[in-house]
Chains A and B, each alone.
Chain A
Amino acid sequence: MVRPLSINTKLKRECAEVVERKVLVIGGGAAGIKAALSEAAAGNKVYLVEHLPGIGGERIPQDRIITDSYSFTVPDVAAIKENEKIEVLTNADLQGLINENGQYKVKLHCRTTRVLQEKSRDLLQAIRVCPIHMYDDYNEGIEWRTAIDFFNSAWEGYNIYKEEMPVCQRTCPMNLDIRTYVGQIADGKYAESLATIRKKLPFPLGIGRVCPHPCEFECNRGYKDEPVSICSLKRFVADYEVNSNVEPKIQLPEETYPEKIAIIGGGPSGLTCAYHLALSGYQNITVFEALPELGGMLRVGIPEYRLPKAILAKDIEFITRHGIEIRTGVCIGKDIGFDDIRNDCDAVLIAVGAHQGMSMRVKNEDAEGVYEGIKFLRDVALGNEVPNKGTAIVVGGGNVAMDVSRTGLRIGFDEVNLLYRRTRREMPASPWEVDAAEDEGIRFHFLVAPQEVLVKDGKAVGMQCLKMELGEPDASGRRRPVPIEGSEFVMEADTIFAAIGQVTDTSLVEEKHGFKFGRKFNFEVNPKTFETNVEGVFASGDAATGANIAIRACAGGKTAAESIHKYLRGRVESA
């Protein structure tokens, strides 16, 4: 094998000495090239840094209307190449920039191009033989590029585009091997496809139904026509197994470990963690679930019409068959103390989710008839008694608000009015959920904010609202809603649901345990290992990340399982 050459040894030498005046130019476009040349002409040493593998490129000007004499802006790339005072760093990302005593310390990371341009006379031939064709980002997808390609003819900038994983897999919080399992479906190898998914994700039936599929928004096919229906394909293979009455095989490793692990919370994150620990060989895993049934938010947050309980039960049965002890209806901090669990077990995972609704911060919020949306969904799922007569107001614009509204109509309300303080465009809910809610007859009221719950005889009878308009964009890039003065109006309702976000109920632990918490009452963890600041205790899922999508909770559970394994094995080794 050829030994990697350091193409920038000269630069490394220069990094050591600080004598000359040095200039960093960020961006290798026309403006950056012009700036680099003028700085070099002034006698300065210039580092020209560009994120892409090449610099330059003709541009159409946007500061003047062109005439015949000069139409394109053509940066002088040849002058850059010849100038010894200019060091060009392409494929480079800035990783740090610190001001220190009037100087700037810069950390740069240059991604490899895998091509040493100066070593070949004819790299065009390489392009001709390359069998890979992919979206051409240098040319805005006007054509396809090969995996090995040059950036432009002035600079050339040959590079091989290689990634650890395809973009869909990289986008998936769990890094599911989408390309493989979709390919196996195309080949009709459904069992193999499902096995590929289950290597990482034990909830193909559930996630295949409810995932907002961030992968599909990045799918390269979307540049050509429309993205592949990745999520629904996952559901298809999972359904296929159920419909053909195949009992999924359980394969546990021969090498086993005796350590005792407690998992607090039987939702997507806790169960995924238990599943992966079992696959690693742990035989003494107990999942404690406060509710009477396993499943967490997938069971008591997602309504039946999106994910039937009987279907979810099949995913859960598959997981628990891996030799995991289940204790439902046991609330840690109430039925069993957290200390008892911790003293009794070698490692503990806290994955209690985020099941507590956030306050609307309006007057009379505690009146009878005002309900947390998430509690309503939970009560419906568990078959508890819930209000279901007359008119309902739902406040919020996320997926929980859609679930509450659609469930409300199904359970008997005559009319459901949804209030959201921005417009449809800014709604955080998935657009297909919004469409479905509209189809089913939910009445949307955009640019409306709740102001006060109106109360008669101690019971809510309606909401005083305020109309809003969109002002300047805020930090999130969304335009901030601004109240319109004097626009107050009253909307009558028998029941009011607040669905504006959920937080974690941390009452399972006490102050003396010394846990650190984040802004959303979530357990603070090391984002790479999901360790809390308390030794031997890990946290994952919504309890660690704040309310988030199910597959991210599963991903956290899997990472936590790996960290717990590492922690326990490390403990044995050092003992």
Chain B
Amino acid sequence: MYIYEKKGRYIIAFTDIPSKRAEMPEISVKERKGNFKEVETGFPEDVARAEAKRCLSCRRCLGCALCWAECDPEAINFDLPDQDFDLQVDKVILTSGMERNIVSIAGNISNKHMNIVTDLQVERMLADTGPSNGLIICPQDGEIPKKIGFVQSLGATDDKVRDAALIFGINEAILAQKKIDGVEIGFISPTINAFKASAAKSELDKVSGIKFVNGTIVKAAEVGENKEIEVRYEADGSEKSDIFDLLVLLTQPQLPPSIEETAKQLGVEVSYASFLDTPGEMVETDRPGVVLAQNL
């Protein structure tokens, strides 16, 4: 069982409700040969009811007005309408947004195991104002991890985008080192060697205590009672494995569809890499009055 503290409240996951979804029973492949018998046979009643209880019944705001009763008059107004505006501007400045692709990071690794998290989740944990007040915790039991693995899979075709994702992960590893005394950190990426050979090498040399491996991740799964994560990866031509308390998947930054759409309307062609050229600066496009504010 895990407990999250939420601004003075506790949320408890019920142990009498299954966390795994019910599997549809099927007739065996042998029984299907040469006939058209229905393959899936349907849930028995007890399975169906247990499965239905898994529904979180997502309601969003119910309009119960408890908050309205607690607050000063007029602070909460359930009928406050949406608003539409027409503006006229001389200049449009686009930023890249903060969308990161989770799907393409690792083909056969799901982050369904509680102790596999994304770099974005770690970023939230590292923030002092974030949900865990700056602590890195294993979501499974709320313990501080003693050994953290960072893994990157190939995805981005653009070198700049790939390096941005890598630097983001390395920075998190450095911050984790500062937060947790004596933490062991492993960092597996297929492009570490290429990255080291690039201009950032001198900076990377200053980093110590992180075990970098130039390797490709094959599989990650829960092992043991404490639900540690075993990682299998290929490096130096052979398959190896390692076990971590917490595994961090590096995501890949990308443009949100809304920004792509806006850029199209403005008549400029942009990719995420267009925002990585000169950190913190503004870059003019070939459209008058359209500027790209670079990431920083």
Q: Report the bound CA distance from A179 to B266 in whole Å.
A: 41
- Whether A476 is near chain B, meaning CB under 8 Å from some CB there, is no
- Whether B174 is near chain A, meaning CB under 8 Å from some CB there, is yes
Q: Report the bound CA distance from A221 to B22 in whole Å.
A: 13
Pair B8/A23 contact, Cβ less than 8 Å: no
Shortest distance from the beta carbon of B86 to any chain A beta carbon, whole Å: 6
Q: Quick one: given A64-B167, A99-B267, A232-B43, are A132 and B296 in contact (CB under 8 Å)?
A: no
- Binary contact track B166-199/A, C-beta < 8 Å → 1, others 0: 0110111011000000000000000000000000
Q: Quick one: given A26-B262, A65-B200, A225-B19, are A305 and B32 in contact (CB under 8 Å)?
A: yes
Q: Report the bound CA distance from A29 to B294 in whole Å.
A: 11
Pair B171/A220 contact, Cβ less than 8 Å: no
- Residues of chain A with a CB closer than 8 A to B289's CB: 102, 104
Pair A112/B66 contact, Cβ less than 8 Å: no
Q: Report the bound CA distance from A31 to B98 in whole Å.
A: 11
- Whether A141 is near chain B, meaning CB under 8 Å from some CB there, is yes
- Whether B35 is near chain A, meaning CB under 8 Å from some CB there, is yes
Stretch from B44-52, B224-232, B233-241 that touches the partner: B44-52
Q: Quick one: given A26-B94, A185-B48, are A228 and B21 in contact (CB under 8 Å)?
A: yes
Pair B125/A142 contact, Cβ less than 8 Å: yes
Pair A133/B92 contact, Cβ less than 8 Å: no
Q: Report the bound CA distance from A186 to B54 in whole Å.
A: 9
- Residues of chain A with a CB closer than 8 A to B54's CB: 221, 228
- Residues of chain A with a CB closer than 8 A to B97's CB: 27, 29
Q: List 9 A-B contacts (CB under 8 A).
A: A22-B87, A111-B82, A121-B72, A125-B71, A129-B69, A153-B129, A160-B76, A436-B39, A473-B157
Pair A15/B88 contact, Cβ less than 8 Å: yes
Partner of A4, one of B19, B40, B69, B79: B79
Closest residue of chain A to B121, judged by CB? A140
- Whether B207 is near chain A, meaning CB under 8 Å from some CB there, is yes
- Binary contact track B88-107/A, C-beta < 8 Å → 1, others 0: 11111111111000000001
Pair A226/B91 contact, Cβ less than 8 Å: no
- Chain A residues bordering chain B, tally (CB within 8 A): 143
Pair B71/A4 contact, Cβ less than 8 Å: no
- Residues of chain B with a CB closer than 8 A to A129's CB: 66-67, 69-70
- Whether B208 is near chain A, meaning CB under 8 Å from some CB there, is no
- Whether A489 is near chain B, meaning CB under 8 Å from some CB there, is no
Partner of B87, one of A6, A108, A147: A108
Q: Report the bound CA distance from A108 to B87 in whole Å.
A: 8
- Chain B residues bordering chain A, tally (CB within 8 A): 124
- Whether A528 is near chain B, meaning CB under 8 Å from some CB there, is no
Pair B167/A63 contact, Cβ less than 8 Å: yes
Q: Report the bound CA distance from A412 to B36 in whole Å.
A: 12
- Whether B149 is near chain A, meaning CB under 8 Å from some CB there, is no
- Whether A526 is near chain B, meaning CB under 8 Å from some CB there, is no
- Whether B57 is near chain A, meaning CB under 8 Å from some CB there, is yes
- Residues of chain B with a CB closer than 8 A to A12's CB: 85
- Whether B126 is near chain A, meaning CB under 8 Å from some CB there, is yes
Q: Quick one: given A61-B171, A62-B168, A232-B43, are A23 and B57 in contact (CB under 8 Å)?
A: no
Pair B174/A66 contact, Cβ less than 8 Å: yes
- Residues of chain A with a CB closer than 8 A to B207's CB: 65
Stretch from A233-241, A366-374, A480-488, A493-501 that touches the partner: A233-241
- Whether A339 is near chain B, meaning CB under 8 Å from some CB there, is no
Partner of A303, one of B36, B84, B107: B36
- Residues of chain B with a CB closer than 8 A to A162's CB: 60-61, 63, 78
3 shortest A-B CB distances, which residue pairs? Answer: A120-B75, A27-B95, A126-B67
Shortest distance from the beta carbon of A311 to any chain B beta carbon, whole Å: 8
- Residues of chain B with a CB closer than 8 A to A365's CB: none
| Residues of B near any A CB (own CB < 8 A) | 4-9, 11, 13, 19-22, 24, 29, 32-40, 42-43, 45, 48-49, 51-64, 66-67, 69-98, 107, 112, 118, 120-121, 123-132, 139, 157, 164-165, 167-168, 170-172, 174-175, 200, 203-204, 206-207, 253, 258-259, 262, 265-267, 275-276, 279-280, 282, 288-289, 291, 293-296
Pair A4/B7 contact, Cβ less than 8 Å: no
Closest residue of chain B to A150, judged by CB? B7
Q: Report the bound CA distance from A399 to B153 in whole Å.
A: 29
- Binary contact track A197-240/B, C-beta < 8 Å → 1, others 0: 00000000000010000000000110011111100110111011
- Residues of chain B with a CB closer than 8 A to A145's CB: 6
Q: Report the bound CA distance from A96 to B261 in whole Å.
A: 10
- Whether A324 is near chain B, meaning CB under 8 Å from some CB there, is no
Pair B293/A123 contact, Cβ less than 8 Å: no
Q: Report the bound CA distance from A239 to B226 in whole Å.
A: 41
Pair B38/A29 contact, Cβ less than 8 Å: no
**Which residues of chain A from 30 to 62 have a CB within 8 Å of any chain B CB?**
30-32, 34-36, 38-39, 44, 47, 51, 57-62
Q: Report the bound CA distance from A117 to B71 in whole Å.
A: 10
- Whether A79 is near chain B, meaning CB under 8 Å from some CB there, is no
Partner of A107, one of B7, B84, B129: B84
Name 18 extra pairs, CB < 8 A, besides A30-B295, A114-B61, A115-B77.
A1-B79, A15-B86, A29-B95, A29-B98, A32-B293, A63-B164, A63-B276, A64-B203, A65-B200, A103-B90, A105-B87, A110-B83, A121-B72, A124-B7, A127-B7, A132-B62, A142-B125, A160-B61
Shortest distance from the beta carbon of B136 to any chain A beta carbon, whole Å: 11
Pair B93/A67 contact, Cβ less than 8 Å: no
Partner of B32, one of A105, A125, A142, A440: A440
Partner of B89, one of A23, A303, A425, A439: A23
Q: Report the bound CA distance from A454 to B267 in whole Å.
A: 48
Q: Quick one: given A27-B95, A225-B20, are A110 and B82 in contact (CB under 8 Å)?
A: yes
- Residues of chain A with a CB closer than 8 A to B172's CB: 60
Q: Report the bound CA distance from A401 to B97 in whole Å.
A: 39
Pair A141/B49 contact, Cβ less than 8 Å: no
Q: Report the bound CA distance from A303 to B92 in whole Å.
A: 54
Pair A132/B129 contact, Cβ less than 8 Å: no
- Residues of chain B with a CB closer than 8 A to A114's CB: 61, 76-78, 80
Pair A140/B118 contact, Cβ less than 8 Å: yes
Closest residue of chain A to B84, judged by CB? A109
Q: Quick one: given A35-B282, A144-B4, A305-B37, are A104 and B171 in contact (CB under 8 Å)?
A: no
